[in-house]
Structure formats: structure tokens, C-alpha cells
Amino acid sequence: MIRYALTRLTLLLVGLLVASVLIFFTLRVLPGDVAQLIGGTQASPAQVEAIREKLGLNEPVLAQYASWMGGVLRGDLGNSLLTGTPVSSELLQKAQVTVPLGLMSLIVALLFAIPLGVFSAMQRGRKAGTAISFASQTLAAVPVVWAGMMLILVFAVWLGWLPTTGFPRAGWDEPWAAIRALILPALTIGIVEGAMLLRFVRSASLQAIGQDYVRTAAAKGLTRNQALIRHGLPNVGLSIITVLGLQIAGLIVGSVIIEQLFTLPGIGRMLVTDVGNRDLVKVQGELLVLTGFILVIGFLVDLVHRVIDPRQREAA
């Protein structure tokens, strides 16, 4: 197990290194000049060149990359080119919105997908199962922006239960206000992502119903539904964990869009703003952190598989 974990950790580090190279050099080919942006339209060529030299933008690209990676290895993602503030501190501040939003969205997706997915499989061929299957396919095809706008219309405009946009200025010092601000965004992401997960849970449950061990359990006196719950679901749990790891990546992508729609001061909204401002240091730091998070999720999913599934341990 230790050898396997070290191997996967090595692949994780290699993946991060490759991602850092792609992120850094891809951003360098984007159009625009951050030095010109800082200097403004009235800046002379000499002033723009002075800004470029001060920021180190006139150094060779490889030297810039080496300098950036040296800081990353020390836990320093650099400073914003526009404001001079440390990127790490801004990421930590924005994560206080994005991380709770992601956790709430994940909880909504799980509560929505697993019970209804299993129930839909149990009700296969009946009206309830058909209705749930049709609804999940429809919701999975709905753009997350449209879903968010419909939820705003119903729960904020018509019913007036929840705020439409924004986050309390005091942040989590006002916990109830902060939670209320995240409910609609979390529902938006959770329902759309949960609909995709529901379809997989239903498919995996239907596959489990046809397995010999479920039929054997039913032959010993259990009903088909009891056999599925007691013996089928534990065996499809690994597949669900794998898909859930992929869904978490979808939650990150969804948060970038939803934070814009609901005007939430999170990492996603900051990333979009920094791309528009050509703040390369912040953008590359933000993308590296998000990429690293996704790679770590994949690493953890692999370890969970190794621990839970005895077949993988025996194959080693």
C-alpha cells in the first residue's frame, strides 16, 4: 500500500509540474501587455518599458518560469502585477466563499442523486421510475446559468425568501447571512451536477440488480429491493466514488460561472477578472491551485479504491 501511494504521489507531482509548464507558457502567448495596462493609455514607450523592467517582464521566459516555480516550491505564488498584494493571501480570502459553496453544492448533489437514483432503479418500468429518469435527463441538459436564473426568479423574485446576489461584507462573521447568500448558488450547481450523478447511480443500481449475489440474496427470502440495498449498493459504491471524483471537477467549473452570476467574491470570479486584467501572476497561481486540487482529488480516489477494494490489493 505504501509503495502504491508513493507511486501515485510521484505521478501527482509530475502532473503538477506538467500543468505548471502548460499554464505558464500558454498565458505568455495571450494578446495584450500588462505593462501597458498598468501605465495606461497616456504612458510613453519609455515608461512602459520601465514598468516592464520593474516587474521582470523583460527577462527571458525560462528565467521567469524558474523564478515563479522557485517561489511556488517555497509556498509563495508571487504578488499581483497590478496591486502588489500576495496571491496566496487573496486565494485564501476568496476560498472562504468558494470552498463552502463547493461543499454545499456537493451535499445537495449527493442528497439529490443517491436516494432518487436508487429509488428510480427500484421503480424501473413504473411511472415513478420513468418520471425520475426523464427529469434527470432533462436537468442534466440544462445550462447551469439558465438553472441559476430560474432559481433566482422563483426563490428570490417571486417568493422573496433568499437574496439574489452578493455576499455579506462581514463575511462569515455573519454566518446566517453568509449561508443564505450561498443557498441558491449551491442549489444551482448541486441540482445540475446531481442530475448527472443520478443517472449513473440509477445505471449502476440496475446493473447490480442483475448480479448473481443479489439474485441469491433474493432467493434466500429478501425482496429485490432489500437485496439491492443490503448487497448491491456496497458493491457499486466504488464506481460511484470514481464518478463523484469527476463530479467534483465539474463543481469547480460550475463555481466559476455561478460566482459571476450571483456576484460572489470567490476564486472563480477573481479568476475571470484577473484574466481580463492580464494579471498573469495571479492567473497562473489560481490555475495552478485549481489544477492541483483536481489532481489531489484523483489521487485520493485512487487511494480509497485501493483501501476498499480487496481485488486491487491482491493484484499488486
Residue 121 CA, distance from chain mean position:
28
Kindly report, residue by residue over 250-277, the tens digit of the pLDDT: 777 778 888 888 989 999 889 888 888 8
* Range of weakest confidence among 7-21, 37-51, 123-137: 37-51
CATH topology of domain 92-315: MetI-like fold (1.10.3720)
User: How far apart are alpha carbons 111 and 119 in whole angstroms?
Assistant: 12
- pLDDT of residue 209 exceeding 60, the answer is yes
Question: How do the domains of the chain map onto residue ranges?
Answer: 20-73, 92-315
Kindly report, residue by residue over 13-29, the tens digit of the pLDDT: 999 999 999 998 888 77
120 and 132 Cβ atoms separated by less than 8 Å: yes
Kindly report, residue by residue over 222-240, the tens digit of the pLDDT: 666 677 667 666 666 767 7
Residues pairing with 86 in the sheet? 79
Kindly report, residue by residue over 239-250, the tens digit of the pLDDT: 777 777 777 777
196 and 250 Cβ atoms separated by less than 8 Å: yes
- Average pLDDT estimate for 88-105: 91
Greater confidence, 208 or 65? 65
Task: Enter the pTM of the model.
Answer: 0.84
User: How far apart are alpha carbons 193 and 141 in whole angstroms?
Assistant: 10
**Which pLDDT band holds residue 130 (cuts at 50, 70, 90)?**
confident
Smallest CA-to-CA distance from 87 within 289, 297, 293, 291 is with 289
Residues pairing with 79 in the sheet? 86
Output helix, strand, coil percentages for the chain, rounded to the nearest 5: 80, 0, 20
Smallest CA-to-CA distance from 165 within 199, 138, 197, 188 is with 188
Torsion of CA 227, 233, 236, 238, to 10 degrees: -140
